[in-house]
Amino acid sequence: MKIFVTRPIPQAGLDILRKAYPHFQMNMEDRVLTRDELLSTVPGLDGLLSLLTDRIDAELLDVAGPQLKIVANHAVGFDNVDLKAATERGVLITNTPGVLTDATADHAWALLFAVARRIPESENFLRAGKFKGWGPLMFLGGDVTGRTLGVVGAGRIGHHMALRSRGFNMRVLYTDEFVNTTLEQEVGARKVGLDELLREADFVSLHVPLLPSTRHLINATSLRKMKPTAYLINTSRGPVIDEAALAEALRAGIIAGAALDVFENEPAVYPGLLELDNIVLTPHTASATIATRSNMATMAANNLLAGLRGERPENLVNTEVWGKHRR
Ligand code: DGY
């Protein structure tokens, strides 16, 4: 079997692959392959272990050839994959759900507190030697305890983000296609429309997948519906927010602050955002704990091996491929 891993992943995943296929190939450099580099490595592959930074589309699948059985994505999100093209070609696509739920929900809270209590801003002030003594007006921020949390998308990660609000005695509103009865029972959460959530929430945390319907879900119009004292948190996908509109809203005081882990055109960040103090930015690291990344690598490797063995991988995304005639 010819296997390629597009960038070094945690050892646990590599060990699994090596045990089954000692001669698998990997990009040894810790960087994203250019499109040309990626295309030049895929011809003849049976299995590809990809990252969210690799675009898996019809062109790549055709260049790889009809023997390609599986692309195991090392991420829960799979908006980097053209699912339709993969399904049409009988290629299995897998992801890594569940193992990063806690880490991502934790990170959303880290961002929430960081922006509400102005942690990076005040730390920079201190490090710059500007702290000359306690001041009653220094770095006043927003309260968290007892406020309203608005969770946009109450799937796995949104649900667990909301659960953590119990420690802070918060009212929880959520939007979702489905009623999340468990969440309603656990924290008394109430399902509302997006407009109501934006109007009522002190903290709006985004947890939707990137789909045509969620691209720029947060734009100039929706930002104007939020309270001027509210904060926006994004650990989902960058294009869910119109960054130019957000920069303008933060500059004009339409909302109080924002904290982003993901960006519209990663790794680029809209320049207007970098100039602002009322925003906290992290480089897509919400799932970046040692244990979580190791579990993601293990899951992706196991999915890849199952697909190569002709078994149904545990985390198959395009389930309709299974049972169809596969090449
Ligand atoms: C994912 O898995 O989709 C995250 O964005 C990165 O861990």
pLDDT at 323: 73
Q: Angle, nearest 10°, between helix axes 119-127 and 101-116?
A: 60
Question: Which is catalytic among the residues 59, 184, 196, 266?
Answer: 266
What's the 294 CA to ligand 1 centre distance in angstroms? Answer: 13
237 is catalytic: yes
Token pair in block for residue 199 = 């109007």
Question: Which is catalytic among the residues 107, 147, 207, 237?
Answer: 237
Residues of the chain with pLDDT under 70: 324-327
What's the 287 CA to ligand 1 centre distance in angstroms? Answer: 6
219-230 pLDDT, tens digit per residue, is 999 999 999 999
Q: Hey, how many other C-beta atoms are within 10 angstroms of the C-beta on 24? A: 18
User: What structural domains and CATH numbers belong to the chain?
Assistant: 3-99+290-321 (3.40.50.720), 101-281 (3.40.50.720)
What's the 115 CA to ligand 1 centre distance in angstroms? Answer: 22
Q: Specify the residue with its C-alpha closest to ligand 1, atom 1.
A: 75
Q: What is the pTM of this model?
A: 0.97
Atom of ligand 1 nearest to the CA of 78: 3
97-140 pLDDT, tens digit per residue, is 999 999 999 999 999 999 999 999 999 999 999 999 999 999 99
266 is catalytic: yes
The residue ranges of DSSP E strands in the chain, in sequence order, are 3-5, 25-26, 47-50, 70-73, 92-94, 148-152, 171-175, 190-191, 203-206, 231-234, 257-260, 279-281
